[in-house]
Structures are given as structure tokens and as C-alpha cells.
């Protein structure tokens, strides 16, 4: 999870806030929504100041107005990427919300196996530093250890190159490695590597690959999936982007395949391609 050190850039935050004119804030909000879908809304000046001050300082850009002009006139991929990176929230944890992994093990995998599937393609969209994709792989490992025969290829994607790099390395500090994880699973699925660092075991990593992908851009090249996890990212977007993304996920989902969204997210206003199923005390969506 990203955090801004108050002591290291408190002065800078205040400076950036004071220098933030309304029109610059609005122009920046428009840039951000166009670039990655995130809608800032009103009164997020403090958030923008605290997230962007380190970028402004590192780039030698005096204030938000100059940043917006640089993004409009000479938008290098590097500057754009650093700004998006700074503005995204990467909060995640192992087996987050439990239900999406329970329903996979108890309902979706047995159902798909019964229908003759042998190898699934699963997409963890907006996967942050990889915990969701690896939790899916651990769930499949547990399912197979209990006699299930299905296996899967899992593709994790995120807009942030830094998150994808971390996900690929599959190395986490002890603190991060234990967040949301029962110690039995930590012992079973991780190797201790170096001081204070744990790495996801090769048998869990072998199913998972990662790539940088912006949900607002083309999905061609990702292929089609039996199951899509797109959780805790749509909440940051406006209605049009949500509808567009859900439609495109529908096209990337095989008929009869499933979509799982975040606990506080719902598809009711975004798509007719999916039907809602109540399963095991929660909700999943099935492609018609």
C-alpha cells in the first residue's frame, strides 16, 4: 500500500496545496480520468498534493499547473506513468474478503470440472502486487490436493509497472506476506528467502504470469477467460468507464464463464451480459 511520509514532504505538500489553483486541479482531474479512468471528484486537493509532491520534486516541476502543461504538451510515457503510479491506490492482501476464493474452491471449480473443463484461464484484472492472482493459484493447489483435477493458467494485469514488477518477483516482506494469511498457508506456500523476506513457492508461481495493462485500453491480446476477478478498482472510475470496462470484460469472458467484483461493487447498472448468481452466501456474475 502506498503511503506518503508526512515528515519527508510535509512542507512540499503545503506548498503544492497553496499553489494549486482550481483550474489546474480541474485540468489535472480531466487528465487523470482520460489516462486511467480514476475520477477525483471535488475537494481532493489534499490527496493530489500529498501524492504528487514527490513527483513534482523529483521532476523539478514547480507546481500542478506546470505539471498539467507538461502532461498536455510533452507527455513522456515516463512522466505520465509516474503520475498515474502516484495517484493509484494499490491496497491489497492475500485472500482479500475470503468469499471470492471460498466460492471458487467450493462451487466454481467443482461446477466447471463437472462440465468437462480441465484447464481454466483466469484473469486477475488490476491485480496490484499479485496477492489476488497468487491467492487464486493457492486455492487451486488446495482444490487439487483434495482430489480435484482442474488446473489453470492465471494472468495478472495492472496499469502500474512497479506493481507488476513486484508481482513477478513474488517476494514480500514478512509483514506483507502475513497480511490476511493464516500461518498454515504461509508455511505451506512460501519460502523464507533472505532476512525478513518471503517468496511465493515455485509450484504456486508456475500458473501465474503478469503483464502491464490499462483497463481503458484494448483487451485484444489477452485472450478469453473462464473466470475474471476485477475487484476494488471499478469504484475509482466514473459510470461511463465502468460500463465500458464491464462490456469489454464480457467480451473477454467465455459464454458461461464468471466475473467476480469487489465486496462493495455491483454490476447492476453496468451490464446485461452477466446474470447475478447468489452462491455460498455471496454474489458472482455469470456470462450468458
Ligand X SMILES: C[S@@+](CC[C@H](N)C(=O)[O-])C[C@H]1O[C@@H](n2cnc3c(N)ncnc32)[C@H](O)[C@@H]1O
The contact set with ligand X (CB under 6 A) reads: 36-38, 88-92, 96, 126-128, 132, 158-160, 163, 214-216, 231-233, 262
The distance of closest approach from Cβ of residue 216 to ligand X in the complex, given in angstroms and rounded to an integer, is 5
152 beta partners: 120
- From the list 254, 217, 246, the residue with the least C-alpha distance to 121 is 254
Parallel, antiparallel, or unpaired for β 253-261 and 225-230? parallel
Asked if 287 contacts 250 with a C-beta cutoff of 8 angstroms, the reply is: yes
Q: Which is nearer to ligand X, 130 or 192 (CB)?
A: 130
**DSSP secondary structure letters along 146-159:** TT---EEEEEEEES
Cα separation, 54 vs 8, whole angstroms? 9
178: Cα within 13 Å, side-chain hemisphere: 9
Q: What is the SS3 assignment for 149?
A: coil
The distance of closest approach from Cβ of residue 95 to ligand X in the complex, given in angstroms and rounded to an integer, is 10
Question: Which backbone phi and psi does 124 adopt, to 5 degrees?
Answer: -100, 95
- Please, where are the H alpha helices in 222-261? 239-252
Cα-trace Rg, the chain: 20
Which CA distances in Å does 39 have to 1, 31, 68, 133, 180? 19, 10, 16, 26, 29
Grid coordinates standing for 244?
A: 465500458
Q: What is the SS3 assignment for 121?
A: strand
The distance of closest approach from Cβ of residue 21 to ligand X in the complex, given in angstroms and rounded to an integer, is 26
Q: Which is nearer to ligand X, 53 or 124 (CB)?
A: 124
Q: Which is nearer to ligand X, 27 or 215 (CB)?
A: 215
Cα separation, 109 vs 176, whole angstroms? 28
Residue 204 parent element (H or E):
helix 202-205
Cα separation, 184 vs 75, whole angstroms? 48
Amino acid at each position: 500500500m502506498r503511503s506518503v511520509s508526512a515528515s519527508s514532504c510535509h512542507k512540499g505538500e503545503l506548498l503544492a496545496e497553496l499553489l494549486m489553483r482550481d483550474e489546474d486541479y480541474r485540468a489535472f482531474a480531466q487528465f487523470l480520468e482520460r489516462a486511467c479512468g480514476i475520477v477525483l471528484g471535488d475537494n481532493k486537493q489534499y490527496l493530489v498534493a500529498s501524492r504528487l509532491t514527490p513527483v513534482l520534486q523529483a521532476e523539478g516541476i514547480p507546481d500542478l499547473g506546470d505539471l498539467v502543461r507538461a502532461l498536455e504538451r510533452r507527455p513522456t510515457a515516463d512522466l505520465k506513468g509516474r503520475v498515474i503510479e502516484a495517484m493509484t491506490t494499490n491496497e491489497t492482501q492475500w485472500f482479500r474478503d475470503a468469499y471470492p476464493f471460498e466460492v471458487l474452491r467450493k462451487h466454481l471449480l467443482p461446477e466447471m470440472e463437472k462440465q468437462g473443463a480441465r484447464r481454466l484461464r483466469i484473469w486477475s484484472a488490476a491485480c496490484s502486487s499479485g496477492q489476488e492472482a497468487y491467492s487464486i493459484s493457492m486455492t487451486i493447489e488446495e482444490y487439487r490436493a483434495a482430489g480435484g483435477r482442474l488446473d489453470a493458467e492465471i494472468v495478472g494485469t495492472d496499469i502500474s509497472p512497479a506493481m507488476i514488477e513486484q508481482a513477478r518477483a513474488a517476494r514480500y516482506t514478512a509483514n506483507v506476506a502475513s497480511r490476511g494469511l493464516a500461518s498454515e498457508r504461509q508455511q505451506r506456500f512460501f519460502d523464507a528467502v533472505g532476512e525478513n523476506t518471503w517468496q511465493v513457492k515455485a509450484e504456486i508461481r508456475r500458473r501465474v504470469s503478469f503483464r502491464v495493462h490499462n483497463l481503458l485500453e484494448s483487451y485484444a491480446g489477452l485472450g478469453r477467460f473462464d473466470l475474471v476477478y476485477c475487484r476494488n478498482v471499478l469504484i475509482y472510475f466514473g459510470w461511463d468507464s465502468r460500463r465500458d470496462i464491464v462490456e469489454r470484460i464480457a467480451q473477454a469472458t467465455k459464454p458461461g464463464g464468471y466475473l467476480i467484483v469487489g465486496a462493495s461493487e455491483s454490476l447492476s447498472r453496468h451490464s446485461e451480459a452477466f446474470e447475478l448468481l447468489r452462491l455460498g452466501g455471496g454474489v458472482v456474475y455469470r456470462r450468458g
